[in-house]
Structure 1
Amino acid sequence: MFVGHYKDVPEKDTGFEGVTIRWLVSPKLGAKNFAMRYFVLKKGAEIPMHQHDWEHEIFIVRGEGIITGGDKEVHVKAGNFLYVPPNEPHGYKATGETLEFLCIIPAKKEAIPEDEWA
C-alpha cells in the first residue's frame, strides 16, 4: 500500500495556460490498471475539446466550471462526478476561481507520459 498527500506530488504544466496536473497514482507506483490525476484550472483556463480511445471518470473536488461533452455543455461544481466514454469529444473550462478535479484513466502507454512509468 502507498499513502501520499497530493501537495507532495509535483505540479506539472499541461501545455494549456492556467492548467496544471499532478500524477497521483500511475504505473510509477506500481498501478497496473488505472492512473489518477489531479487537475487545477485557474479562472478562465480551459482544456479545449479533444477525445481519446479510453474512458475517463472524473470527480469535481473544488470550484465550478463547464464541461463540454458530445453535443452538450454542463455546469459542474464541487461534488459532481462524470463519466466520459471512449472517443467522446470533451473539454473543460473553469468559471469559478478554480476548477479542481480528479480524473481516473486506464494505465495505457498512449495515455500516460513516459516519466510516469516504473
Structure 2
Amino acid sequence: MAHVIERDSWAEAPDRWKGELQCGQFGANSCLIFNYQEKIGAGPRLHKHPYAEIFVIRSGTGLFTIGDREIKASAGQILIVPPGTPHKFTNLGPGPLESTDIHENGHFITEWLE
C-alpha cells in the first residue's frame, strides 16, 4: 500500500522544510530528518547510530566530523556515515545549512556521546 504523508504531519512549521519522520510506521526501513540550521555554529552534538546515515546537503556549508575526519561539505554533496561511527556537524555560514538526513532504520536509535 502506498502512503501519502502530508507536510503538516512532519514539518515543524508550514513555511519551512524542517522536521522529521519515522517511516517504519509506514513499512519503510528509514527515517528522514529535514534539517535546517539557521545559526552559524548550530548543529547536533557528537552521537552515533547502529545503522548508516546519509546526509544530502541541499544548501549552505557545514563542517562534519565523522569518526576522526573533518569534512567541509556544501550544497550538492552527499556524505555517508557508516554504522556505529561517531559524528556531528555545524553550520559554517554565511547562511543556513539545509540537509536531508536519511537514517537506514524505521525508527531513530541515537546514542549521544557529548
TM range (shorter): 0.7 to 0.9
Q: List 4+ stretches of structure 1 deviating above 6 A.
A: none
Cα deviation digits, residues 37-65 of structure 1 (max 9, x gap): 21111222021211121110110011111
| Higher fraction of strand | 1
Q: How many residues align?
A: 104
Q: Structure 1 CA distance, aligned partners of 2:61 and 2:108?
A: 29
Residue of structure 2 equivalent to 1:82: 79
Structure 2 counterpart of 1:95: 92
Aligned twin of 2:70: 73
Task: Give the counterpart of 2:31 among 35, 42, 48.
Answer: 35
Structure 1 unaligned spans of 5+: 13-19, 113-118
SS in 1 for 2:28: coil
Amino acid at match of 2:10: V
Structure 2, unaligned runs of 5 or more: none
Tell me the secondary structure at the aligned position of residue 44 of structure 1.
coil
In structure 1, give the amino acid aligned to 2:79: L
| TM-score, normalised by the number of residues in structure 2 | 0.74
Q: CA RMSD in A?
A: 2.7
CA contact under 8 A between 2:31 and 2:108: conserved in structure 1? Answer: no
> Within 2, Cα distance between the matches of 1:64 and 1:22?
19
Indicate the SS of the match to 2:83: coil
